[in-house]
């Protein structure tokens, strides 16, 4: 779970980079089910929205636009409520795991997703109305933090900052993963490489993420019943989880089975919990489009590891 704790604002992106590298080492990339990949993309794009809302909210607070701050954190709660319903937690989820995801969507999640998208569509225009042409807002951001393409390239900067220079670099398009190439969305760019341009980039990117989320909802309906974790029980741990008041945990049914009726189920459960699974020797790298830019993860295993 260490990778999800590296970034509490966008934990799914750090999980994705780590898990992608592990799955390459395991050679199971092609075994991940379509439904598992859809759920991953859904969570990543919702997390992009919540991350951008924090950037806009805290940025507004710093320049005295307190209404922008309160709106940003208000709307972030919509996304965090969805995360809690699906993963059991508001952040640091450890939900994107080697082999897929540990749980399918719970009952009622699809309704909550549709309602959340509808509410965000209603709320997002407020930021444009408050800020886009506000002379005080523009006066405090335009020309501030100017960084052109040459400067961004020299510093190795990616994400919204780079795209505000006009360069359409986005790994979801340039180096797609988890079927991103099959989704309809645009890479947002601007020719305003300053604080104001970067605000506008994030605002527009939230709309593009909503487009992807809506496509994920349609695909989830079409893939209902598909597994969300690989069948290999040496990798697919923890199995038979449930969401309780304190997050994810082994379901009561699973505990009864392994503790009361099935030694054959208890032994692999014990070994996977205490030892983990073995990763073949080798090197692997996976990068994802984090809300703030490219999120790489490189893995190297000289000897088989657990």
Give the tens place of pLDDT for each residue, 72-110: 999 999 999 999 999 988 888 889 999 999 999 999 999
In the predicted model, is pLDDT for residue 305 greater than 60? no
pLDDT mean over 254-272: 75
pLDDT mean over 231-258: 73
Which pair of tokens denotes residue 233? 């029980």
The H-assigned helical ranges of the chain are 11-26, 34-62, 66-87, 109-123, 125-127, 135-141, 149-155, 160-163, 171-174, 195-222, 252-256, 263-275
**284 vs 144, residue with greater confidence:** 144
pLDDT mean over 193-215: 98
pLDDT mean over 216-241: 87
In the predicted model, is pLDDT for residue 246 greater than 70? no
Q: What confidence category does residue 304 fall into, taking pLDDT thresholds of 50, 70 and 90?
A: very low
Give the tens place of pLDDT for each residue, 31-77: 999 999 999 999 999 999 999 999 999 999 999 999 999 999 999 99
- Give bridge partners of residue 289 from the DSSP assignment: 294
Long-range contact list for 135-138, CB < 8 A, 24+ apart? 137/63, 137/65, 137/196, 138/196
CB-based contacts of 76: which residues, under 8 Å, 6+ apart?
A: 50, 53, 54, 57
Could you give the percent of the chain with pLDDT greater than 90? 72
Distance, in Å, from the CA atom of 232 to the CA atom of 139, rounded to the nearest integer, reads 58
**8 vs 15, residue with greater confidence:** 15
Residue 238: cis peptide before it, omega within 30 degrees of 0: yes
In the predicted model, is pLDDT for residue 205 greater than 60? yes
Q: What confidence category does residue 306 fall into, taking pLDDT thresholds of 50, 70 and 90?
A: very low
Contact in structure between 164 and 146 (CB atoms under 8 Å): no
Residue of 286, 300, 253, 263 whose CA lies nearest to 15: 286
pLDDT mean over 143-165: 96
In the predicted model, is pLDDT for residue 190 greater than 80? yes
The dihedrals phi and psi of 189, each to the nearest 5 degrees, come to -130, 160
What's this model's pTM, rounded to 2 decimal places? 0.90
pLDDT mean over 10-37: 94
**125 vs 268, residue with greater confidence:** 125
**214 vs 284, residue with greater confidence:** 214
């Amino acid at each position: 779970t260490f990778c999800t704790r590296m970034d509490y604002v966008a934990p799914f992106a750090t999980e994705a980079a780590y898990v992608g590298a592990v799955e390459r080492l395991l050679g199971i990339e092609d075994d991940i089910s379509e439904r598992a990949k859809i759920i991953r993309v859904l969570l990543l794009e919702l997390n992009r929205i919540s991350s951008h809302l924090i950037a806009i909210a805290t940025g507004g607070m710093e320049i005295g636009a307190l209404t922008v701050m309160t709106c940003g954190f208000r709307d972030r709660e919509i996304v965090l409520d969805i995360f809690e319903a699906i993963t059991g937690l508001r952040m640091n989820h450890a939900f994107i795991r080697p082999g897929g995801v540990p749980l399918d969507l719970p009952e009622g999640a699809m309704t909550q997703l549709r309602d959340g998208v509808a509410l965000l569509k209603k709320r997002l225009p407020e930021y444009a109305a408050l800020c886009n042409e506000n002379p005080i807002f523009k006066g405090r951001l335009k020309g501030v933090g100017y960084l052109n393409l040459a400067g961004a390239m020299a510093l190795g900067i990616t994400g919204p900052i780079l795209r505000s220079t006009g360069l359409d670099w986005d790994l979801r398009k340039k180096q797609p993963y988890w079927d991103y190439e099959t989704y309809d969305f645009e890479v947002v760019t601007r020719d305003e490489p300053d604080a104001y341009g970067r605000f506008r980039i994030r605002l527009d990117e939230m709309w593009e993420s909503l487009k992807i989320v809506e496509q994920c909802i349609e695909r989830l309906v079409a893939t209902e019943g598909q597994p969300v974790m690989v069948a290999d029980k040496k990798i697919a741990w923890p199995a038979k989880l449930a969401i309780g008041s304190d997050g994810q945990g082994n379901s009561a049914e699973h505990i009864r089975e392994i503790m009361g009726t099935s030694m054959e189920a208890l032994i692999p459960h014990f070994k996977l919990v205490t030892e983990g699974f073995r990763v073949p020797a080798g090197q692997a790298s996976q990068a994802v489009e984090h809300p703030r830019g490219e999120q790489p993860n490189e893995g190297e295993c000289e000897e088989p590891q657990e």
